[in-house]
A and B are shown apart, each in its own frame.
Chain A
């Protein structure tokens, strides 16, 4: 199915969940509110015409000028060979959203990275801890306003 057909099907079956959509260009995607994410993702995975069974990536992007953190989910379908993106905007102070690791198991580590690097809290996540930085690190390094601490365990950070 082309991106346009996928988005038409979504808008027909899940009216009200889709806020906006982009069907042409390099990255066709739909934009949803955080509350509708789990319903949309379960439908995307289970509907026989769509069958998005592979979550390729979850990316968190920090937009301080819009005061939001945007999560972008990349989905592809192995049987039907089509792809779609799903984007969610979260508030920059205290971003939290439902975890989709119940829908795709791959989400578990991607969401741990979003927590570690951006500070996004995922509700009902089976293993919410840092994945790249040490466990006792403070701060979220990929935020635009991140400042390094002076040192860690005796090793200085800025030489």
Chain B
């Protein structure tokens, strides 16, 4: 989409293209398996049959960042892990999104005061689109976060280039 992005004036044509593009993108978000700690268990629960994530089109977890759209950072990010996390995020193709799942990924969580090896929030490493509070967040909360991300995606437009 880089060919026509930013080239057209906002109007009916771009609205139509936007509607179809966003509709397709938000209904087929491929998450990357980035379960680091306990929030990974809740993420697995969301991917399983009771709180099915596949009905949102987001059930195909890709192990490689090259094929994924969404990085759900589920768990505590340590300094050692943060360097690898940054590298994997840079390997994702745009449009890419990051969801900070759980209080450890949002702000360091229970380790905020005394954790000497914990990054106090994954937004110090990568830009975050959606924050999901909880320790761990309930599967319904993760699904709501995905729906908020879908709303965010539906506001995108190709009329002006996105700075992502």
Contacts and interface: CB of A to CB of B under 8 A. Distances in A.
A pairs with B: yes
Interface residues of B, number: 13
Most chain A CB atoms below 10 A, which of B83, B112, B117 = B117
A157 B111 CA distance: 11
Contacts of A132: 117
Interface string A43-72: 000000000000000000000000000000
A155 B116 contact: no
Interface string A126-159: 0000001110000001000000100011011101
Interface in B25-84: 79-80, 82-83
Contacts of B124: 155
Nearest to A152: B79
Contacts of B113: 159
B80 A159 contact: no
Q: Which of B82, B112, B113, B116 has the most CB of A within 10 A?
A: B116
A141 B82 contact: no
Given A155-B124, A159-B108, A141 B79 contact: no
Given A133-B80, A152-B79, A153-B79, A159 B117 contact: no
Interface residues on A, range: 10 to 19
B119 A155 contact: yes
Contact of A134 (B79, B112, B125): B79
Contact of B120 (A134, A141, A148, A159): A159
Contacts of B125: 155
Chain A: interface secondary structure? loop
A148 B116 contact: yes
A133 B117 contact: yes
B42 to A, nearest CB: 25
A155 B82 contact: yes
A138 to B, nearest CB: 12
A156 B83 CA distance: 15
A133 B79 CA distance: 8
Nearest to B108: A159
Interface in B77-126: 79-80, 82-83, 108, 112-113, 116-117, 119-120, 124-125
Given A153-B83, A155-B79, 15 more contacts: A132-B117, A133-B80, A133-B117, A134-B80, A141-B116, A141-B117, A148-B116, A153-B79, A155-B82, A155-B124, A155-B125, A156-B120, A157-B116, A159-B108, A159-B120
10 contacts: A134-B79, A141-B117, A153-B79, A155-B79, A155-B82, A155-B120, A155-B125, A157-B116, A159-B108, A159-B112
Interface of A: 132-134, 141, 148, 152-153, 155-157, 159
